[in-house]
Structure formats: C-alpha cells, structure tokens
Structure 1
Amino acid sequence: MAGILGMEGLSTAQVQDELRRGGRFVVFEYCVSFLTTTMRRSSDVYFIRAGQSTFVLSLGYTLLSLLLGWWGIPGFIYTPLCLATNLLGGKDVTEMVVPSLLAPRYDPSLGY
C-alpha cells in the first residue's frame, strides 16, 4: 500500500472498513503557466478516511494554482477547473485504486 498518502500503518482490512464507511481515494489538481506553456497536473493519491475533510490537503495545490495558473493562454481556463476540483474535495479515483489494492501480490519467494 505504499505510494498512497494517508494509508501509513493501515491494514487492508482497515482500509476496506473505512471505504465501507465512506472513505475514498482522491487526487488534487494544480495548474502552472509559463506564458506559452500551461501544465495541468494531478497530485499523488490521498486516502481520505470517512468524515475527514480535504480542505487542508488541497490547500497547497489550490494556492499554487491561484498564484501560478493564470499566466498562460489555457491557464485562465484550467485554473478555475483545478480550483473547483480541489474546493469540491478533489477528484475521486477510488474505483481506479481499489482493484489494484485487492489484487493478489506477486511473492518471489513463493514463486507466485
């Protein structure tokens, strides 16, 4: 379960329990513009426990977009989209993440 922020120390059963109670996996968006080039990117995946707010987690990405997103031609389109995504709790990617968490893991010591 490495690579997903907010899952440190949780077992698969604990994650499944949180998902049943409304937990989810999200990414936040940010936009950075350099006059002729605008980059719209997603953050790492975050695990959001049931009832947990995403405001603090999204704040850095939101501020980055507010400060640096407007300064290119598509930036004035992408920046509001990123801000809306972040302020509405991030983009839910639970359906893409869960299958990879539950897939059997290859164990080289066992040969499968």
Structure 2
Amino acid sequence: MKIIGIESMTGQELSHELDRGGRFVIYEYTFSVLIMTFKRSSDIYFLKGGENAVVKGLAFSGLTFLFGWWGIPWGPIYSIGSLFTNFSGGKNITNEVLAALSSPQ
C-alpha cells in the first residue's frame, strides 16, 4: 500500500507532525455487484495534527453509501461497518506504520 500525504516530507518533518497529533489512517469502502459484495480498505493516509479525518474519508463513505447496500445480505452489513469506521475518523494504524518504517528492509 502506498502512503498518501508524506510525499515531500523529511523524516524530521514527519516526526514533528506525529508529535503534534499526526496519524496514519485507512478508510473502508463497500461496493456490491448483483449478488457479490466487496469490502476493501483504502491506501494509507497521513493526517497532520488538527486535520479532520472524517472529511478526508467522505469520498469512501460516499462510494459505500451509493454502491454498498445492494448485495443481500452482506451489502448492508458491510456498508454499516464501513460507514461507522469512516465516520469515526478511519482506522488508526500509526503504530503499525511506524513499526514497518523503522524495521530494516
């Protein structure tokens, strides 16, 4: 997965933003095609301290709201879960990303 939001940041700038409350999050989205329902995760997003996580996830919530419900029975079930995650600010995976970034490749 790629990380969106750190493209031009140095390690020092990233550390500073993390100290200010920055975090890495992923969003969920659900879409249904006839009888099949798919629940997926977005790329990783870096949110700077004070940045609104719910607003960043609105595109994924909109996709879920429009296309997630149609598969029965999993469409509504997965859609509710995805919307709950996104409107809670996404899934915070900061610790996992920092562990992966600090481990030798």
Displacement, 1:35? 2.7
Provide the secondary structure at the position in 1 that maps to 2:57: helix
Q: State the number of aligned residues.
A: 104
Q: Tell me which structure has the larger Cα radius of gyration.
A: 1
Cα distance in 2 for partners of 1:15, 1:102 equals 13
1:13-41 Cα shifts (integer Å, max 9, x gaps): 21112112211100010000123210000
Aligned twin of 1:43: 42
Aligned twin of 2:77: 77
Cα distance in 1 for partners of 2:88, 2:102 equals 28
User: Which residues in structure 2 correspond to 1:1-112 (within 5 Å)?
Assistant: 3-73=2-72, 74-104=74-104
Q: Which has more strand, going by share of residues?
A: 2
Counterpart of 1:99, as a letter, is A
1:44-69 Cα shifts (integer Å, max 9, x gaps): 00001111112332111000000000
Cα distance in 2 for partners of 1:50, 1:16 equals 11
Cα distance in 1 for partners of 2:48, 2:71 equals 36
- Is contact 2:54–2:90 with CA below 8 Å preserved after alignment? no
Cα distance in 1 for partners of 2:103, 2:10 equals 14
Cα distance in 2 for partners of 1:35, 1:96 equals 35
Cα distance in 1 for partners of 2:29, 2:58 equals 10
Cα distance in 2 for partners of 1:10, 1:104 equals 20
Identity of aligned residues (%): 43
